Amino acid sequence: MPLFGKSQKTPAELVKSLKEAINALETGGDRKAEKAQEDVSKNLVSIKNMLYGSSDSEPPADYVVAQLSQELYNSNLLLLLIQNLHRIDFEGKKHVALIFNNVLRRQIGTRSPTVEYICTKPEILFTLMAGYEDAHPEIALNSGTMLRECARYEALAKIMLYSEEFFKFFRYVEVSTFDIASDAFSTFKELLTRHKLLCAEFLEANYDKFFTQHYQRLLNSENYVTRRQSLKLLGELLLDRHNFTVMTRYISEPENLKLMMNMLKEKSRNIQFEAFHVFKVFVANPNKPKPILDILLRNQSKLVDFLTNFHTDRSEDEQFNDEKAYLIKQIKELKPLPEA
């Protein structure tokens, strides 16, 4: 009995057939492209079924998946699929993401062979990141699905974080199409929060570029959703104990305090609330630098009045009310630094 059944192609045949169809899709005229599109779809379904099994077949044996994966690496097909994602039809795009994520998760003992492979082919990651560009909006969400799967692996997250391409996310999260901007923000957040030590090292090494040159712009964005999401993420980053060095530096800068005090007075209650969670870090700091203390002292009575009447309807939010009471107490007790 043949290993793959009479009519079923072997992994090598499938990969070869799909690669030829993709190449035809790249170069063919209209009629050729139509035929190539059919071949691409057909082969993608066969590969997906080989990895996941289908309703009328058993889940695949490990050696079949191993053979298929090896063929995908050797043929450079993963990159080719991603580079041509915009040429593949709607269902095909979804199949590419399913195939990519399945092969990515593959493990041999503690090793992840596809992760190791992509480390030697970082262009795969950069091509996926470019999926958020305006040129082909129809591939953005599929690219995002694959990127977030990659971000789960520290080695791949590190390549993305330390690349120039990462800083393009500051543009992607503000694109005019809401779905794409939201998806880009999910990927951006995943890269900045998934691997705590890696992210802390990255933020420390790139503090000025990240916070001063780029993040400030998101906090001042005219887009409400961008401003709110960025403020919420900023609060998460500053309150994560791994980011203590970054937090200490951020809450020592008067411009950052002024921005948060202005955001406390925003029209949007959601933005006020997120700003409160960043503002509290400035006030709770036991070692406030003089410029920070001076601003708080100058506005001492105003801040006490403002916070006393701040979001009084949140009576059931115990943590918020405890924090608010603590801040009011801290601000009331503020005293100038003794003269040197």
pLDDT for the residue 33: 80
pLDDT digit string (tens) for 74-130? Answer: 999 999 999 999 999 999 999 999 999 999 999 998 999 999 999 999 999 999 999
Residue 281 above 60 pLDDT? Answer: yes
Say how many C-beta atoms besides its own lie within 10 A of residue 268's C-beta. Answer: 13
Domains identified in the chain and CATH numbers: 196-339 (1.25.10.10)
pLDDT for the residue 236: 97
Task: Judge contact between 200 and 249, C-beta under 8 A.
Answer: no
pLDDT digit string (tens) for 287-324? Answer: 999 999 999 999 999 999 999 999 999 989 999 999 99
Report how many helices (DSSP H) and strands (DSSP E) the chain contains, helices first.
Answer: 21, 0
Residue 29 above 70 pLDDT? Answer: no
For the segment 20-30, the average pLDDT, to the nearest whole number, is 82
* pTM of the entire predicted model: 0.92
Band the pLDDT of 1: cuts 50, 70, 90.
very low
Task: Judge contact between 8 and 67, C-beta under 8 A.
Answer: no
Name residues whose C-beta falls within 8 Å of residue 272's C-beta, 6 or more positions apart in sequence.
263, 264, 265, 266, 310, 311
Q: What is the dihedral of CA 144, 148, 154, 158, to 10 degrees?
A: 30
Say how many C-beta atoms besides its own lie within 10 A of residue 336's C-beta. Answer: 9
Closest CA to 66 of 102, 110, 35: 102
pLDDT for the residue 32: 79
pLDDT for the residue 4: 47
Eight-state DSSP code of residue 163:
S
